[in-house]
Structure 1
Amino acid sequence: MVAKLVHAEMEMATGEKIMGWEVKKRMNRIGEKMKRMPRMAWKSTWKVRREDPRRVIHAIKVGLALTVVSLLYLLEPLFKGIGENAIWAVMTVVVVLEFTAGATLYKGLNRGLGTLLAGLLALLIEYIAEASGRVFQALSIGASVFIIGAAATYMRFIPYIKKNYDYGVVIFLLTFNLISVTSYRVDNVRKIAHERFYTIAIGCAISLFMSLLVFPNWSGQDLHESTIFKLQGLADSIQACVNEYFKNGVIQENEDVKSSSEDTIYKGYKAVLDSKSTDETLALHASWEPRRSRYCHRFPWQQYVKVGAVLRQFGYTVVALHGCLRTEIQTPPSVRAMFKDPCIRLATEVSKVLIELANSIRNRRHCSPEILSDHLHEALQDLNTAIKSQPRLFLGSDDSKTTNMLAAAAASQVGQKKPRKNNSSGVTLSSVKTDSSASLEWKNKRPSAEQSKEASERKVLRPQLSSKIAITSLEFSEALPFAAFASLLVETIAKLDHVIEEVEELGRLACFKEYRPGDEIVVTCEKPRVDVTQSHLPSHGVD
């Protein structure tokens, strides 16, 4: 008994030591994380600033606007003139002041227009209801809230209203219901409505001033730079993809070089494929911005969206081209080497065309009339000649064709000459059933039994036939992955015409300057400074 007690005490002591060690380890981990937190926070803050320095300026602008509008509530003379509704000006600045001028105009004008219309309609209904008695006033307010609420909500489903004025309709509903319902219990509702409208107007005015006149950020310019960046990214992606394809298996690269190449390929087309919602939002906000060009030309935001759609179609081909690098069946390096030079030259010419389109948009000029140079046509002809010079790789020899035909004929003859066994002799029934259901059940089971026996016989013959077909068509299967790669590379040239057409249409609508020889200087494109985190997407919530 004493020995058991001693043993139990030793186990408890050991368990306490283990728990103490685990607690110390957890505390050490928490301490290490706490030490790393300031450094990680600084890295994240610096990364956000480095990606777009305009974010720092925007943060200062918002802080300055909030400080100015807070004076309405803090200063005694202004507070006496406006009252407690001054807080609505602060709320308006927080909600309306966005990163770009277009987004601020979109929200500010929608909020102001929705508030004005809702206030006028609510006061009109209140004036009519007051002259009819207390009971009729309650009924009229309830009926008007139902009718206006249902009608405004239904209007939000109209595509044009939803796209351009959805936020204004939400503010209209909110303001109308607040004023209408409040007017039944509050006597000075007109004064409250007037003060609220004035404060919201002050908040919108301060937001528009800070957004349009103090270091403005234009949605149209962001969309312009985003289109340039996407063209440049696709050019780099195609060039890196083709170079990686012909280096793979020929030159042993280290992991750092491979990872950098993969990043270049992936980032190039990822920015294009993920740009649909951002392009549409920037285009919507750009449609609200004033004309800022020298001749006050209208910003062709719809054409920028079309260019983005064509680039996404082009990007899908680049994705498939990148997929050829990671297929399980790869063409041997010796076969790739035969077509390396024309494919690399073809990719280089395609990249040059995309870079020329990017430079034409950047410099706001039309692209060169000879953008599709003779070098592109020559590279395409050389690739076609190289493929035709190796017919056995892609079409197979006559002997292999004959062997394949004989193998297929033999397989069909074996399938026809298989003897069918009499299943009636092999069927044993545990009990004899004389009713129709039993006979029907037995008939339904017969085909499944026959099919299972035929499948088992085919399994015996399949390895022999498949091995013969694989051996006879070995040359064709080795070149098949490269045939897919070359086909996709040629497909990029076919889709290049659509990109050129849309960019030329963009130049015509935006009134780009004419092309002059010597303008085809290649300029490296920087990453567009498009801030997606600053509510480029229109807010549909109730603010």
Structure 2
Amino acid sequence: MVIKLEQDDPRRVIHSFKVGLALVLISILQHIRPTFYAFGDNILWAVLTVALVLEFSVGATLGKGLNRILATWLAGALGVGTRSIANLCGQKGEAVLTTIFVFVIAGSVTFMRFSPRLKARYDYGFIIFILTFCMVSLSDDKERAMLKLAQERLLTIIIGSFVAVIVCICICPVWIGQDLHNQIAANMEKIAHFFEGFSDEYLKKSENTEVVHDRSFLHRYKSVLSSKSSEETMAVLARWEPRHGGFRFRHPWKQYLKIGNLIRLCAYNIEVLIACLPHSDQVSLNYEVGNKIKESCTIISSECGKTLKEASLMVKHMTMSSMHNSHVANAKNAIQTIKSILRTNPWEGVDYDEIIQVSTLASLLIDVVNCIQNICEAVDELASLAKFQPSQLLHHRGTVVQPVDDSVHVIAIIETPPILELRNEN
């Protein structure tokens, strides 16, 4: 089991090392710095802070560290203030006012935790605030002793958070924003792999098609269906991270969630598409009408795969490109071809089962193409918001001519050699 955990993500071993190192640094500071002796047992709060704050990623560590520091400071200040007010009312009045303050403030903060937006980013801070406020308000220490204790604990918490953040950033940092970025690109690639194999696997493109024993790529898209919660968590934590690599301040992390939702919608359409086809190892459209639209369905499947691969490369390499637009246009033209065939009323003497299957297949493919077009538009919007760099190489350029009428479609593709080859020839 330990070996499997290490193989799944080797960074887990490094994280375990970082936690141990941070705790060792705190213990070393306690022994070599005489100043720390003045803290007494409060130095344990630094150890506790490191154990609680140091998370797997930089974003999670920064978020927890800042939440803990700010919540401790605000709760301590508010607790001291409310206790000073309660002391003015005598012994009996102090108990009553303290109880009222604890009830109102703790209840209000707890109610704020129900806000999805606040809970996503500040839930840990709310918990620390409630605990610290209650500890300060209900303490039996005198006011001066309590102030000194609060200052020492706040300072040790700041030291612990600082050590945790430094260790997390300086030693093999794990950027959760980079993980989200890679996951979105990988999910698009999984859907692309499905569409590339869809025609051979389900439409039986040709009888001479080689048998592919490894069909796992046809089922990888299923992992996309359950990726929503992880993407939302990563997007929240990524907002805490400083600028790194190609990720700037105020990077459009919400746009990644939009793309992820569209990818999942496409995966759900795939689930419905497979469910509507007959269950067998290979499904072929042997019906009369099915054979007429088989070629167009194959084109749609191929172009959808190419479109998503281009979009995935755009996100992965953070470059701007318009190559996917030609593939979307080709898929739309194939959709128009299917519509033209179905408008010619080919249903005379056709079995109802064939009518239902072909109509359902055509309708689902239209939904898939529309969904993929929305994904491309969202990726283009991300490229604009994140200021992706223009692609340096132009491998080919395609021009798509709109159909002349409902039955004739002309697609002109002009192939040009790469720019680097042109430079070498000159």
Name the TM tier (shorter chain).
0.7 to 0.9
Q: Does the alignment pair 1:265 with 2:218?
A: yes
What are the superposed Cα offsets for residues 354-406 of structure 1, whole Å, 9 maximum, x if unpaired?
A: 000111112212221562246435544554566668x55xx233xxxxxxxxx
Q: Which residue, 4, 8, 19 being the options, matches 1:62?
A: 19
Q: For 1:388 and 1:331, locate their aligned partners in 2 and report how far apart those are by CA, in whole Å.
A: 25
Shift of residue 232, structure 1, vs aligned partner = 0.4
* Counterpart contact for 1:317–1:488, Cα < 8 Å: yes
1:69 and 1:183 map into 2 onto residues whose CA distance is: 29
Query: Does structure 1 residue 481 correspond to structure 2 residue 357?
Result: yes
Letter in 2 for 1:145: V
Give the match's secondary structure for 1:165: helix
Distance 1:251 1:294, change over 3 A: closer
Once residues 205 and 326 of structure 2 are traced to their aligned partners in structure 1, the CA distance between those partners, rounded to angstroms, is: 30
Q: Is the Cα contact below 8 Å between 1:141 and 1:180 reproduced in 2?
A: yes
Q: How does 1:132-531 map to 2 (within 5 A)?
A: 132-183=89-140, 188-247=145-204, 257=213, 260-261=214-215, 263-268=216-221, 270-292=222-244, 296-325=248-277, 327=279, 334-335=286-287, 339-368=293-322, 371-373=325-327, 375-377=330-332, 379-380=334-335, 383-384=338-339, 392=346, 395-397=347-349, 475-518=351-394
How far did residue 204 of structure 1 move? 0.6
In structure 2, give the amino acid aligned to 1:289: E
* Deviation at residue 110 of structure 1 after TM alignment: 0.6
The amino acid that maps onto 1:242 is S
* Aligned partners of 1:298 and 1:510 also within 8 Å: no
CA shift for structure 1 position 98: 0.9
Q: What's 1:91 paired with? A: 48
> 2:353 and 2:37 mapped to 1: Cα distance?
86
Give CA-to-partner distance per residue, 1:470-512, whole Å, 9 cap, x none.
xxx7x23145324322332232112222111111111110011
After TM superposition, give the deviation of residue 51 of structure 1 in Å: 2.6
Distance 1:496 1:122, change over 3 A: same
Q: What secondary structure is seen at the aligned counterpart in 1 of 2:76?
A: helix
Q: Identity rate of aligned residues, in percent? A: 34
Shift in alpha-carbon separation, 1:104–1:520, aligned structure 2, 3 A? farther
Deviation at 1:106, TM superposition (A): 1.2
Q: Is the radius of gyration larger for structure 1 or structure 2?
A: 1
Contact 2:76 2:132 in 1 (8 A): yes
Unpaired runs of at least 5, structure 1: 1-43, 398-472, 522-543
Q: Distance in 1 between matches of 2:396 and 2:101?
A: 64
Distance 1:104 1:481 in 2: 53
Deviates more, 1:152-161 or 1:90-99: 152-161
Amino acid paired to 1:486: A
Contact 2:310 2:324 (8 Å CA) reproduced: no
Moved over 6 A (4+): 248-254
Q: Deviations over 1:61-103 (max 9, x none)?
A: 1111122223456679466322112222121111111111111
Cα deviation code 1:147-178 (max 9, x no counterpart): 21122222223344223222211110000101
Moved more, 287-296 or 481-490: 287-296
Report the CA distance shift for 1:384/1:154 in structure 2 as closer, same or farther (over 3 A). closer
Deviates more, 1:60-69 or 1:179-188: 179-188
Using a 3 Å threshold, how does the CA distance of structure 1 residues 204 and 121 change in structure 2: closer, same or farther? Answer: same
Structure 2 segments unaligned to the other structure (5+ residues): 398-426
Confirm or deny: 8 A CA contact 2:242 2:249 kept in the other structure.
Answer: no
Q: Following the alignment from structure 1 to structure 2, what is the Cα–Cα distance between the partners of residues 60 and 333?
A: 57
- Letter of the aligned partner of 1:176 in structure 2? F
Would the aligned equivalents of 2:200 and 2:206 in 1 still touch at CA under 8 Å?
Answer: no
Q: Is the 8 A contact 2:202 2:283 kept in 1?
A: no
- 1:11 match: none
2:400 is aligned to: none
- Determine the C-alpha separation between the residues in 1 that align with 2:134 and 2:324: 63
CA distance in 1, matches of 2:205, 2:333: 26
Higher relative contact order (CA 8 A, sep 6+): 1
Instruction: Give me the CA root mean square deviation.
Output: 3.2
CA distance in 1, matches of 2:263, 2:246: 29
Q: Which residue of 2 aligns with 1:108?
A: 65
CA distance in 1, matches of 2:139, 2:360: 70
Give the counterpart letter for 1:362 in structure 2: K
Give the Å deviation of 1:53. 2.3
- Take 1:489 and 1:353, find their aligned partners in 2: how far apart are those partners? 14
Task: Work out whether residues 283 and 301 of structure 1, in 8 Å CA contact, stay in contact via their aligned partners in 2.
Answer: yes
Question: Does the 8 Å CA contact 1:297/1:510 hold for their aligned counterparts?
Answer: no
